[in-house]
Every structure is written in C-alpha cells, then in structure tokens.
Amino acid sequence: MNLLTWFDSADAEAFGTALAKYFLERVPVQTPESKVKSTAKKQEALRKMFYKVDQFRAKGKLNFYKKAKFGNAFQWTLKDAGCPSDLVSELTKELLLRL
C-alpha cells in the first residue's frame, strides 16, 4: 500500500458530507412541535443511510484516519445546519460503528 493513498481521505470526506446532506433533506432540524412527525421520517432516513454506509464499506476498508475524516465531515455538516449536538453525536457514533 502506498503511503499517499493511506492519507487520501477525499472520498471519505465527500461521503460524510453527502450523507449529512441526505439526512438534512429528509429530516429537517427539529422544533418541539415537529418532533412527533419526524420520528418516522428519521427512522426511514437512518435505515437508508445505514444501507448507503454498507455499500460504501463494501468498496474497501477504511483506515482510522479516513474514518475520522468521514466522521468529522458528517458531524460538522450537521452542526453547521443547526442540528442539536446530542443528535449529531448519536448519529455520528452509529455511523462510525457501522464502518
């Protein structure tokens, strides 16, 4: 393995950002009155996101550096969109465990 490819995390970062945008398109940032309505949407979005992660993982194993870059890109895209920190942390953890 070439050392330069070990640090090439562009694909992982792009996937993390795209996955966060996918989530934001399907589950808007929650307000107290929209919380009940969005539970079903959130579950469906998570199921599809896990499927996308499984497909991405099947392309090749990610090293810890690429996983960290993926998680960071995913996390900051959601935080910048105004998602609650506890939701962001929970989603990021679940997706990283899936990789």
How large a percentage of the chain has pLDDT more than 90? 68
CA distance 68 to 30: 26
Q: By residue range, what is the domain housing residue 90? A: 3-28+36-98
65 or 41, greater pLDDT:
65
Q: Over range 26-53, report the average pLDDT.
A: 79
Q: How many CB atoms lie within 10 A of CB 83?
A: 21
Confidence tier at 55 by pLDDT (50, 70, 90): very high
What pLDDT sits at residue 49? 96
Half-sphere exposure of 5 toward its Cβ, with a 13 Å CA cutoff?
A: 5
Q: Please check whether residue 45 is in contact with residue 23, taking contact to mean a CB–CB distance below 8 angstroms.
A: yes
Domain total of the chain = 1
Confidence tier at 37 by pLDDT (50, 70, 90): low
Q: Over range 19-36, report the average pLDDT.
A: 78
pLDDT per residue as tens digits for the range 67-84: 999 999 999 999 999 999
What pLDDT sits at residue 31? 57
What pLDDT sits at residue 29? 74
DSSP labels, 27-58: SPPP-GGGHHHHHHHHHHHHHHHHHHHHHHHH
- Residue 62 carries which DSSP code? P
